[in-house]
Each structure stands twice: as C-alpha cells, then as structure tokens.
Amino acid sequence: MDVRDRKQYLFDFLLMTVVTIWGFNFAVMKLVYRWFHPIAFNAVRFVIASAVMVLLLKLLGIPLRIDREDFRGIGRLGFVSNAVYPFVFVLGLARTKAGNAALFMALTPIFACLTGVFKKREKLSPGVLVGIVISLGGVMALVLFGSGEVSFGMTWVGDMLMVTSAFLWGWYSAEQTRFLPKYGAIRLTVLTMLLGTAMLIPLSIPWVISQDWSGIASAAWIGLGYSALLSIVYSYCIWAYALSRIGVAHTSVFNNVTPIIALIGGWLLLEEQPSAAQLMGVVLVLTGVFMVRSRKPTAVPDE
C-alpha cells in the first residue's frame, strides 16, 4: 500500500466519522426539539461551537486574522454556512419527516459538484458524476422503501427548505476551497463560524427570549452538547480539511452514507427491519461512494 492509498483510507475513516455523527444528529435534534424551539436551540449551539473553536485556534497558536481583500468573500461564506444554512435546516427538519430530510440532503454532492465546476474549482469527471448519481439512487431506495418515514405533499414547506439547505451546503463546500489553501481548514472554519454566528444571533433573539429555559431536561442539554461539539466543531473542521486535500466531489459524496447510518440506527435501537429494497440501496450508495473515492482527486488549485 503506497502513501496515497494510506492517506485516502485515512480520509475515508475521518469522513465516515463525520457522516455517522451527522446521521445520528437528525434523531438527536428531533428529540431535543421537544424542549427547545429549533431557532433558540440553533443559536445556543452555534454560540457554544464558536467559543470552543476560538479556544482551539488560540491553543494551536493560529492567528485570527483576515486579509482585507478576503473579508467580503469569507464573510459571505460565514453568512451562508453559519447563519442562513442552519436557520433553514432546523426549520426544514422541524417541518418534514426524517426520511424526507435525508433524501433531500443527499442532493448536496450534486449541488457541490456542479458549483465546483461552475466556479472552475473542480474538473468535471464522468466517472465521478456517475458515482454520485448511483449513490443518490441508493439514497432514494433507502428512504422511499423505508418504514413510512417519507411523505410528500403535506410536508412540502419543510421539503423545499431541505432542498434549499442541500444547495446552500453544496455551495459552501465548493466555494470555501477558494480560501482553504491560504487560511487552512481550521482557521477558515473558525473565521466563517464567528462571522456567521455574529449574523445569526440578531435573527434569533425573539425565539431565544421566548424560550422556556427552566423546563429543559438533562437529555436535551446532552443533545445540545452533541450537536454543538461533534456535529459542528469536530465535523466542520474535518469536512474543510478533506475538501482542501481530496476535492469537492470526493468529500461531498460521503453525505450519501448518512441515510445508511440512520437505517442501521433504526435497526439496532428501534428494531426496524430493513427491506430488501433498502439493502439494495445500501449497495448502490456504497458502490457510488467507491467509484468517486477511487478516482484521482480533481480539485483545481488556485493560480
């Protein structure tokens, strides 16, 4: 096994930890919503995540500074990824079913790939595109043949919000590669987190004020910590690092593994038996992911 293979397997492992965390985060957030209003919850978890990320940056001795010519671009990233995206995501998840949310978020790799190509930061590879489409087909099988956790029509507002969330995260994944070589994964993630959170908090004040803080269960606080520290701090840093090293398409396709995690969780924790069609969906997802990750990274470096 050569050095490139070892590095690829390392990224595979790290990205699998991320999508596992994100897969369980759907259920965690649904549980926490019993005590938190989605927007109040979102504001608190981003404040916690921002504070931890700044502390991490200080411990690593990385300067918290943005060059003047990059401020607008990084500010735009922060606004989209940490103000608009989470706002839309939590409202969408609260208004649709888990299956719908997983299905529509699986569009992220396609949005990311197309954005990367449009911005000339990713070369369009037919093999990668085919792999993404196959993986998406597997996600559709996983969700559509599930145990009634998907429905269309009655949840159309939440569905459209989840499609918008997928587009926003795909755009962010592709666009941040513009700044990753200069600022690095951790520093860029912290900068976008701080700028985005500063924009998010004023929008969330009415819901934070009206939130009943006295009646929140311990389990909800644990869920908040999980969502802030693992789903944001850890996962955002790993995601940005992978984008900088293996490209947009290779990283984003791992989003499609998330419904598999949800399927396994339902089987282990809720005794939900997967159908044959769902098992075929698992095969398709893994086939698509393997096709994408086996291609040589095609990220286009900045000139």
Contact 136, 106 (CB under 8 A): yes
**Residues 55 and 193 sit within 8 Å (Cβ to Cβ):** no
> Is the per-residue pLDDT at 300 higher than 50?
no
Question: Is a pLDDT exceeding 50 seen at residue 198?
Answer: yes
pTM of the model: 0.71
Tokens (6 digits) for 67: 């060059």
81 contacts 169 by C-beta, under 8 angstroms: yes
Q: Which residue has the higher pLDDT, 142 or 230?
A: 230
Separation between Cα atoms, residue 171 and residue 285, nearest integer Å: 22
pLDDT at residue 253 tops 90: no
Higher pLDDT, 23 or 187: 187
- Which pair of structure tokens corresponds to residue 7? 């590095």
Contact yes or no for 296/245 (Cβ under 8 A): no
pLDDT of res. 119 = 66
DSSP three-state, residue 299: strand
Helices (H) and strands (E) in the chain, counts: 15, 0
Q: Which of 102-106, 133-137, 167-171 has the lowest mean pLDDT?
A: 102-106
Return the higher-pLDDT residue of 239 and 158. Answer: 239
Lowest mean pLDDT among 13-22, 121-130, 225-234: 121-130
More confident residue, 229 or 173: 229
CB 41 within 8 A of CB 90: yes
